[in-house]
Amino acid sequence: MSDVPAVRIERLSKSFGGVEVLRDIELTVNKGEVVSVLGSSGSGKSTLLRCINWLEEPDRGSIHIAGQRIGIDASGRKMRNKELAALRARTGMVFQGFNLWPHLTVLHNVMESPVQVKGMRKDEARRIALELLEKVGMVEKADAYPYTLSGGQKQRVAIARALAMSPEVILFDEPTSALDPERVGEVLQVMKNLSAEGYTMIVVTHEMEFARAVSDQVVFLEKGLLIEKSDPETFFTNPASERVRRFLELA
């Protein structure tokens, strides 16, 4: 194994106010893999995702992004904000609520991070942003402001914004849950295309079909424990755990 995994999570635990929401999570995501994270509400899926880029600070365990530990520096101390930001810049995140910046145009939403964080020249950032907007089918809306867009369009812009940083991994936190059913497909299509292009993605989702068709691994969280980790075929046809079986029957 010469290739460093895009994300390596070891013995990750996290509590909120005495309630353990994640316990001893182990997960390795190799470059180019798509991992779907399933589980019922409150099972810790989103917290797991948010620990990967330290939007939530884990209590125990370690997370490596492309071989580099996030949150804790070499001497075992908590990272300074600058170091943490530099590592976060190597991950992308797409949120359930889009979280576009409303005062910036679509184009500038996508250009903003490369220019501000990476110090990229504006014309270069603009070129890349337009390419990415083309990729997600939003280039004709480059000069529009976010409030004029539909949910599906906003989410596609948010995906382009995440891609603009050329991240090692893109974290999707229920990217289609806030969309009306007619708009879900356009976002999932973009995500399918990304997986075909070899992007590494961790997707918290309730879209079973997507998870089955696109994932390399499917994991299932239940009350903070990772109780199933398998390839999609096994997961959906012959899961090891009784809990997953019941979940799939109801879903």
Partner 1 sequence: MSEWAIVWEARGAILDGFYNTLILFGLSVTLAFVLGCAFAYWLETRNPATLALRGFINCMRMLPFLILAYLLYYGLPSLGLRLNAWTAGLIALVVYYGAYFGEVLRGARLVLPEGQVEAAKAHGFTGFKVFRRIVLPQLIIKTRPLMGNLLILCLKDTAFLTIITVQELTAAANSVQSTYFVPMEAFVVVILLYWLISICLELALKWAGRFGAKRGFEHV
Query: Which of 17, 18, 76, 102 touches partner 1 by CB under 8 A?
Result: 102
Among 4, 55, 72, 130, binds partner 1 (CB under 8 A): 55
Give the total of residues touching partner 1 (CB under 8 A): 33
Q: At closest approach, how far in Å is the CB of 94 from partner 1?
A: 9
In DSSP notation, the chain reads --SPPSEEEEEEEEEETTEEEEEEEEEEE-TT-EEEEE--TTSSHHHHHHHHTTSS--SEEEEEETTEESSB-TTSSBPPHHHHHHHHTTEEEE-TT----TTS-HHHHHHHHHHHTS---HHHHHHHHHHHHHHTT-GGGTTS-GGGS-HHHHHHHHHHHHHTT--SEEEEESTTTTS-HHHHHHHHHHHHHHHHTT--EEEE---HHHHHHH-SEEEEEETTEEEEEE-HHHHHHS-SSHHHHHHHHH-
Which residue among 53, 153, 205, 217 contacts partner 1 (CB under 8 A)? 53
CB of 246 to partner 1, least distance (A): 33
Between the alpha carbon of residue 229 and those of residues 177, 198, 244, 245, the distances in Å are 23, 21, 11, 13
Question: Which of 103, 209, 237, 242 contacts partner 1 by CB under 8 A?
Answer: 103
CB of 221 vs partner 1, minimal distance in Å: 21
Among 113, 195, 200, 215, contact with partner 1 (rule: CB under 8 A): 113
Q: Closer CB to partner 1, residue 201 or residue 227?
A: 201
What is the smallest separation between the CB atom of 182 and partner 1, expressed in angstroms? 23
Asked if residue 99 binds partner 1 (CB under 8 A), the reply is yes
Between 94 and 218, name the residue whose CB sits nearer to partner 1: 94
Nearer to partner 1 (CB atom), residue 100 or residue 133 = 100
203 binds partner 1 (CB under 8 A): no
Mark 4-43 with x for binding to partner 1 (rule: CB under 8 A) and - for no binding: ----------------------------------------
The CA–CA distances, whole Å, from 82 to 56, 70, 73, 112, 115 equal: 17, 12, 12, 18, 16
Among 148, 166, 177, 238, binds partner 1 (CB under 8 A): 148
Question: Which chain residues interact with partner 1 by CB under 8 A?
Answer: 53, 55, 81-82, 85-86, 88-93, 95, 97, 99-103, 112-113, 116-118, 145-148, 158, 161-162, 165, 171
